Amino acid sequence: MPLTDIKARNAKPGIKPDGTPTAKRYKLTDEKGLYLEVAPSGGKWWRFKYRFAGKEKRLSLGVYPEVSLKEARVKRDDYRKQVANGIDPSDVRKAEKVSEAGLESFEYVAREWHSKFSSNWTEGHAARTLTRLENDVFPWLGKRNINEINAPDLLSVLRRVENRGALETAHRINQICGQVFRYAIATGRAERDPSADLKGALPPTRVKHHSSITEPKQIGELMRAINSYSGSFVTGIALKLSALLFVRPGELRQAEWTEFDFENKEWRIPAEKMKMRELHIVPLSKQAIALLEELQPLTGRAKYLFPSVRTNTRPMSNNTINAALRRLGYTKEQMTAHGFRSMASTILNEQGWNRDAIERQLAHSERDGVRAAYNYAQYLPERKKMLQAWADYLEALACNENVVPIYPAQNI
């Protein structure tokens, strides 16, 4: 039943409409997502609940009785129209607040920059970038004219982050702000980039390397442990393919059956899933094909090769491979899911394979942007031989055989 003005006016803190006492906030529901929230302190707030992009969200529509029931319904209907037109009312609200500070405020320019470039990033990177700005920069610099912000102003923001022990985050925020300032220069709203003046102002970060095993005897022990994994069959296959294909953990867990070409023995990972946002081809060795054929009867009808244990509409957790390694007895200081990449890179480089072919297979960044757009198939014949040789090498190590080095690429 829709809410009435009398019910809203008579709502008392600490007592629900049915007379039940409560020490918590309670709701008086109207309709179409609108409700009145009554706080123990006596305050009454209009709220609008809606769903956008599959997520439930809420917006405050003001305080009762300053905002009447009729006015709250008008606001609710306006927001419902925005949702129906594919617009998130929350984004509109934020944009309105930013515009009050002016089109040349740091926050306005930063949000404009983010909206223009985030479509070329992964969803996670786009979200992290905006969160860092919203949490650590906008509260202090957001309303400032971007052209008036100097190096000491920016440093004071970075010091707050550094002082809470997040030095690496402070460096990343400085990089993000530098991109915003350079965008402002290009669009005529700033004259210089103060982040460039902060070189050396923050202590350097220590380079963190993913733990990995690179000694052949220990690799053999690892592969035997993986082959004897007694946990989930699906996780066991994921462990084996991690070693054989040495893709990034996120790329493996989000692998979809439609991406695999068994006839050409290739896995083509779409650009939107790749860190560098370009199509990546992973040649499939005969060992990898055999594992996929084992897995297909079990998960082949689902979207993902490795679906979540809770639902096959989502991929497995990003911690599954690391958890499996811990179950096998390997600590995070010994081996990680990402460490399979270091393991392959180290051995393949040591044994003479073409460094450029290795880097291309690892899908590392290409500094030349024009060249990067066309390099997904670079060295592909050589990479196919390399992946098969790598699979044979791991298989021999697992069998505890007297393994000879993989033949160098130049001898192929």
Asked about 217 being catalytic, the answer comes back as no
Kindly tell me if the per-residue pLDDT of 132 is higher than 90.
yes
CA atoms within 13 A of residue 102's CA, in its CB half-sphere = 11
Asked about 50 being catalytic, the answer comes back as no
DSSP state of 410: G
- In the chain the domains, ranked by start, together with CATH numbers, are 5-90 (3.30.160.390), 101-198 (1.10.150.130), 216-411 (1.10.443.10)
pLDDT recorded at residue 412 = 39
Asked about 248 being catalytic, the answer comes back as yes
DSSP state of 404: P
Higher-confidence position of 92 and 143? 143
The string of pLDDT tens digits covering residues 357-375 is 998 999 875 544 434 444 6
Between CA 28 and CA 77 the distance in angstroms is 18
Higher-confidence position of 121 and 32? 32
pLDDT recorded at residue 225 = 95
Q: Catalytic residue among 128, 275, 303, 326, which?
A: 275
Q: Which two tokens stand for residue 83?
A: 């949702």
Asked about 374 being catalytic, the answer comes back as yes
- Paired sense of beta strands 260-261 and 26-29, if any: unpaired
What is the gyration radius of the CA atoms in the chain, in angstroms?
A: 28
- Paired sense of beta strands 34-38 and 44-52, if any: antiparallel
Phi and psi (nearest 5°) for 143?
-90, 0
pLDDT recorded at residue 376 = 66
Kindly tell me if the per-residue pLDDT of 275 is higher than 90.
no
Between CA 387 and CA 246 the distance in angstroms is 10
Kindly tell me if the per-residue pLDDT of 397 is higher than 80.
yes
Kindly tell me if the per-residue pLDDT of 268 is higher than 70.
yes
Q: Catalytic residue among 171, 248, 253, 383, which?
A: 248
As a whole number, mean pLDDT of residues 313-327 equals 93
Kindly tell me if the per-residue pLDDT of 170 is higher than 60.
yes
pLDDT recorded at residue 37 = 93
Higher-confidence position of 14 and 198? 198
As a whole number, mean pLDDT of residues 390-397 equals 94
Alpha helices in 187-227 (DSSP H): 216-227
Asked about 81 being catalytic, the answer comes back as no
The number of residues in the chain equals: 412
pLDDT recorded at residue 308 = 93
Query: pTM of whole model > 0.95?
Result: no
Higher-confidence position of 411 and 403? 403
Q: Catalytic residue among 209, 332, 371, 374, which?
A: 374
pLDDT recorded at residue 209 = 59
pLDDT recorded at residue 367 = 40
Asked about 376 being catalytic, the answer comes back as no
pLDDT recorded at residue 95 = 65
The string of pLDDT tens digits covering residues 55-101 is 899 999 989 999 999 999 999 999 999 888 888 888 777 766 665 55
